[in-house]
Amino acid sequence: MTASTATPATLDTVLSHIDSDIDAATARLIELLRIPSISTDPAYKDDCARAADWLVADLETLGISARAIPTPGHPMVMGKYEGPEGTPHLVFYGHYDVQPVDPLDLWDNDPFDPKLEETAKGTVIRGRGTSDDKGQLMTFVEACRAWKEVHGTLPCTITFFFEGEEESGSPSLIPFMEEYKEALKGDVALICDTGLFGHDTPAIVTMLRGLMGEEVTITAADRDLHSGMYGGVARNPIHVLTKLIAELHDDEGRVTLPGFYDGVNELPAEVAAQWEALGFDHKSFLGEVDLSQPAGEKDRTPLEMIWSRPTLEVNGITGGYTGDGFKTVLPSKASAKISCRLVGNQDPEAIRAALRAHIEAGLPEDCTVSYNPHGSGPASTMATDHPAFEAARVALSDEWPNEAAFVGCGGSIPIAGYFKQIVGVDALLTGFGRDDDGLHSPNEKYDLECFHKGIRSWARILDKVTAAT
């Protein structure tokens, strides 16, 4: 598909307009931030609807046909702008709901009375939702506003898709995307819910780890037993469980489950070179949590292990007496919560089956096992050979002091996988948050510089991607 793009002079005009309008853009964001759209608390249902309506009205000021679509939970906002014929179709996703603010007494100010605040590192916008995700969502909207005001049109066709349940597990998302699959089919999806790699290093996330969760409970005796009477002769399920858990890794840090590494691909050389150039300091990274030595696979770099290698972790163990003081019992039950972060083409259900097979093969007589699955989802790997990805990387590199890189993400962002699985579209994830933004925490903030440069970044991306796609 061929498409026209702005000349350097007209792109500069858009960027200049963004600079001159930053105070008004910040005021619009603060207006949206004042709406307490906490999706997980039913008491804020009307506020979530009010935030959706605010976004619809704001999109309409840009000449975009938009509406708030009801769901069993909170509304989805959909809007579409028909760009010039022959231009690509981009789908932008963000979420307008926010986390609860508890504990409120740890906030320095009202979390829904956002303010500009001067800090030692510069001006920040302080308030709930500033970085996650209202501030990020509005960087894209403001870039479109500037482009429209300068050119009278947007450079391409754009569908706007704003969710209101991301912070409460997205219960309506899959059914909604299945119903509106055709409307969401574009050339590429754009997601702004991530952050910079470093203070001045932009990044495009191209690998998202999947997840498999399993709770295992081993039962021996039908009640807790007196350890003086039964110790040594009765089976202790904590012993059984911890032995089985210890067998899940070898001395080199690799997971021992048969077939666990099926579907795990080696890192492409060009991506490995980009990651090496980032200069990741694992000692500083671990030092922030009072650690020093990397664990895990001994033949892998720390950044590989965070972004492109699978894990099997024990997230919690319970059994016996855990209250204050001491009680000499042999427990009847012992439980562990186990999660796997998955990469490449690993099959979460095949790994669940392998974990259960390992437990059952090592289960002694007089013990039984039960399971409580906690969901699963495959990893997502984006097709970086799609021209939009390199175009966006160049655009980000033009705006920020350091060159942008394709990176992985240790966590899981389900919406990216849903775009691929349900709609058949790759997602390009970039964002402008910083590590100290305090997501989900008291005193959340978004650097004014990140908001400003985020708007400029999206203007550049719209220009480059329209030309390349």
Give the pLDDT confidence of 151-174 residue by residue, as tens digits.
Answer: 999 999 999 999 999 999 899 999
Sign of CA dihedral 7, 80, 165, 423: negative
pLDDT band at 329 (very low <50, low <70, confident <90, very high): very high
- pLDDT at residue number 7: 59
Q: Give the C-alpha separation, 338 to 373, whole Å.
A: 10
Distance of CA 260 to the CA centre of its chain: 24
Cβ(100)–Cβ(41) below 8 Å: yes
Peptide bond into 23 cis (omega under 30): no
219-228, 346-355, 410-419 — which is least confidently predicted?
Answer: 410-419
Closest CA to 439 of 100, 83, 141: 100
Report the phi/psi class of residue 253: left, alpha or beta, with left for phi > 0 and alpha for psi in -120 to 50. Answer: left
Class of domain 210-264+310-377: alpha beta
Q: Report in angstroms the alpha-carbon separations of 274 from 39, 149, 190, 271, 386.
A: 38, 37, 22, 5, 18
For the chain, give the mean pLDDT. Answer: 95
**Does the pLDDT at position 317 exceed 50?**
yes
Cβ atoms of residues 135 and 446 within 8 Å: yes
Q: What Cα–Cα distance (Å) separates residue 117 from each residue in 29, 93, 396, 448, 455? A: 15, 28, 27, 9, 20
Q: Which residue has the tokens 């020093």?
A: 292
Q: Which residues contact 260 (CB under 8 A, 6 or more apart)?
A: 310, 312, 346, 351, 354
Residue 9 confidence class, pLDDT cut points 50, 70, 90: low
Q: For position 81, what pLDDT does the model report?
A: 97
> 448-468 and 134-151 are packed helices; what angle lies between their axes, rounded to 10 degrees?
60
Band (pLDDT 50/70/90 cuts) for residue 114 is very high
pLDDT at 319 over 60: yes
Mean pLDDT of 265-294: 93
- The pLDDT of residue 6: 56
Q: Using the Cα atoms of residue 398, residue 437, residue 448 and residue 166 in order, give the sign of their dihedral.
A: positive
Structure tokens, 169? 């597990």
Report how far residue 191's alpha carbon sits from residue 194's, in angstroms, rounded to the nearest whole number.
8
CB 47 within 8 A of CB 37: yes
pLDDT over 90 at 245, yes or no: yes
Topology of the domain covering 8-208+379-468: Aminopeptidase (3.40.630)
Section 452-462 average pLDDT: 98
Would strands 188-191 and 427-430 be described as parallel, antiparallel, or unpaired? parallel
pLDDT confidence tier of residue 465, bands split at 50, 70 and 90: very high
- Domain residue ranges of the chain, discontinuous segments joined by +: 8-208+379-468, 210-264+310-377
